[in-house]
Chains A and B, each alone.
Chain A
Amino acid sequence: MLTSATLVGTLVVFAAAMAIVIALRPSITNSTGGKIFAFAALLVVPVLAGTAGVSEHVEKSKETEFCLSCHVMEQYGKSLHIDDRAHIPAVHFQNHLVPADRACFTCHTTYTLFGDYKAKIHGLRHVYVQYLGTIPAQIKLYEPYRNRECLHCHLGARSFEEGATHNLEPATLPAVKAGKVSCISSGCHDTVHDVANLNKQTLWPGATK
């Protein structure tokens, strides 16, 4: 099956082949056709290939494998395997309520290199800290977790709209939807990546990621 990476790879190989022709036979640029070829080989096609490659990498940064490739994220990856339905990320991951191969990005949309420019700068800073800086003992979110990430899927869902606890008080549901009451820190769904107690947890062996 042709993947986007294969297509981009083909474009890069094609671009490299064109540039190599110029490197081996620069004299072909003496003719008009050769000048046009050189313009394509040394400017247009490399720019296209480079842009397509960056786009491919940005797409890859959404993958769970990408996030968990940093040592500091290993514990967070393990927390997706906790065998306890009270653990929100684990239950989402194990039941494929989020795509397993894009688990991190689905709930942390402002992270990795895929978010806005601020997220991209944060992403680059993470790479810097990973290899050259000091990794903090405890990782914290840049800003409080937003309900938007939950409502992206749950808004309009019957289990959310008609949930008994959500409708216990008439003001609860509107407050959650408005982001005034946090889904995860209001004593409701507050067990998230409990990495501090990971050793005490039973892990579900079923998944490989």
Chain B
Amino acid sequence: MERGLRFSAIFISAGLLVELFTLFSARPTAFILFVGLGGLLIAAGIVLYLFTLLRDLVPRKEGTP
């Protein structure tokens, strides 16, 4: 679970950093990067986080690691 959370956090922080760098520019490219790259990384991180939670909730079969 920790591995999933770590990757999720890395994706989200990378996305947020992209958003931070593009936030102060008033150019169309900045908006595209904000949504297209920053938003995508954040969305990927959130999906990974939810997937990690879900996987942790589902009871594992005996014998599986």
* Complex interface bits, B41-58 against A, C-beta within 8 A gives 1, otherwise 0: 010011001100000000
**Complex: chain B residue closest to A112, CB-CB:** B28
Interchain CB contact (< 8 A) of A19 among B16, B35, B38? B16
The distance in angstroms between the C-alpha atoms of A191 and B5, with both chains bound, is 61
Let me know if B23 and A12 touch, CB within 8 A: yes
Closest to B5 in A: A26
Query: Taking the nearest CB of chain B, how far is it from the CB of A113, in angstroms?
Result: 7
Q: Is the CB of B20 within 8 A of A65?
A: no
Q: Which of B2, B20, B28 contacts A27 (CB 8 A)?
A: B2
List B contacts of A49 (CB < 8 A).
16, 19
Interface of B is mostly: helix
A1-28 contact mask (Cβ, 8 Å, vs B): 1 or 0? 0000100110011011001111100110
A-B contact count (CB 8 A): 109
Residues of chain A lying within 8 A (CB to CB) of residue B23: 5, 8-9, 12, 53, 56-57
Taking the nearest CB of chain A, how far is it from the CB of B42, in angstroms? 5
Tell me the complex Cα distance, A46–B23, Å.
Answer: 14
- What's the nearest-Cβ distance from chain A to residue B38, in Å? 7
Complex contact B5–A29 (CB within 8 A): yes
Contacts of B3 in A (CB 8 A): 26
Q: Does A153 touch B at the CB level, under 8 Å?
A: no
Q: Are A12 and B16 in contact (CB under 8 A)?
A: yes
Which chain B residue has the least Cβ–Cβ distance from A101?
B26
What separation, in Å, do the CA atoms of A32 and B39 have in the docked complex?
28
Would you give the shortest CB distance from B14 to chain A, in whole angstroms?
Answer: 9
Assembly CA distance A60 to B1 (angstroms): 40
B29 and A50 within 8 A (CB)? no
A69 touches B5 (CB 8 A): no
- The answer to whether A53 touches B13, judged by C-beta atoms less than 8 angstroms apart, is no
Q: Cβ of A104 < 8 Å from any Cβ of B?
A: no
